[in-house]
Amino acid sequence: MNASAPVIRMQHVSKWYNPHFQVLKDCSLDVTRGEVVVVCGPSGSGKSTLIKTVNALEPFQQGTISVDGIDLHGKGVNLPRLRARVGMVFQHFELFPHLSVLDNLDIAQRKVLGREREEARARSVALLKRVDLSAHAEKFPGQLSGGQQQRVAIARALAMDPVVMLFDEPTSALDPEMVSEVLDVMVQLAREGMTMMVVTHEMGFARKVAHRVVFMDQGEIVVDAPKEEFFGAVTNERARVFLSKILAH
């Protein structure tokens, strides 16, 4: 792939849940390699839907999305293969409760990427170390705190060597004291140059590592601006109101 081509290119994407309800309205967005894009907006504005169209978890009716140069709607596209290269982290972690932490990290490497047991295990062990959870390798998800589970979930996604990582409100289901341990991992990841698209209201995170901030409202991308501009002098009225609300507390 051309190194400077966007990792995610979303053009004029529209989606309807039914003929009377358009959840995404003509959304266009590029995420280039190494870029961190934060998506924010009021509840119900379509942030989750937008991010889930990127790995085709949500279908869309109009427009085009390509990931690493591959058109999601292209002929003969192998969606599972494509998704394997896009890491996703969910609000509620979604670890597999019947598998140990290590097996959670191993399973897709082996069954999707076809890695040998030892190779997968080595990768998993290294990633667990990186998210500082080596001591919990043999535990089951139910034995971990929320913050620990989310770090395992990040490691599980990274184990697939993704070209881009998607996060859908990764800290909003966490107790406040656990938010920073997850954000720290994400900040480190961003600084290492991972391409990231992050739905979050953690503006501290956005300030620290985002390159661009996207503001959505009622299914539309209302603002798409460099971080400095967004926090400095955002001119959009709706975005200003939203920002003042979430920054107030």
Ligand X SMILES: Nc1ncnc2c1ncn2[C@@H]1O[C@H](COP(=O)(O)OP(=O)(O)OP(=O)(O)O)[C@@H](O)[C@H]1O
Interacting residues with ligand X (CB under 6 A) = 17, 23, 41, 43-49
Binding of other proteins by 55 (CB under 8 A): yes
- Residue 94 as a binder of other proteins (CB under 8 A): the answer is yes
- Strands across the sheet with 212-217, in order? 86-89, 164-168, 196-199, 36-40, 212-217, 220-226
Instruction: Work out how close the CB of 27 gets to other proteins at its nearest, in angstroms, rounded to a whole number.
Output: 20
Encode 80-108: b = buried (16+ Cβ within 10 Å), e = exposed: eebbbbbbbbbbebebeeeebbbbbbbbb
Count of positions on this chain that bind Mg ion (CB under 5 A): 1
The single-letter code of the amino acid at 120 is A
> Which listed option, Mg ion, ligand X, other proteins, none, makes contact with residue 23 (CB within 5 to 8 Å by class)?
ligand X
Q: Which is nearer to other proteins, 89 or 225 (CB)?
A: 89
Closest to ligand X by CB, 2 or 244: 244
* 1 vs 112, beta carbon nearer other proteins: 112
Nearer Cβ to other proteins (40/51): 51
Of the candidate residues 84, 125, 187, 203, the single one contacting other proteins (CB under 8 A): 84
Stretch that binds other proteins, among 31-39, 81-89, 220-228, 236-244 (CB under 8 A): 81-89
* Contact predicate 117/110, CB 8 Å: yes
Residue closer to ligand X (CB basis): 23 or 179: 23
**Quick check: 48 binds Mg ion (CB under 5 A)?**
yes
Q: Look up residue 84 and give its two tokens.
A: 């394997």
Q: Hunting for tokens 């792939």 — which residue is that? A: 1
Partner from other proteins, Mg ion, ligand X, none contacting 107, C-beta within 5 to 8 A by type: other proteins
Q: Which of residues 108-167 bind other proteins (CB under 8 A)?
A: 108, 111-113, 139-144, 156-157, 160
Query: Where along the sequence are the contacts to other proteins (CB under 8 A)?
Result: 52, 55, 57, 80-81, 83-86, 88, 90-92, 94-98, 107-108, 111-113, 139-144, 156-157, 160
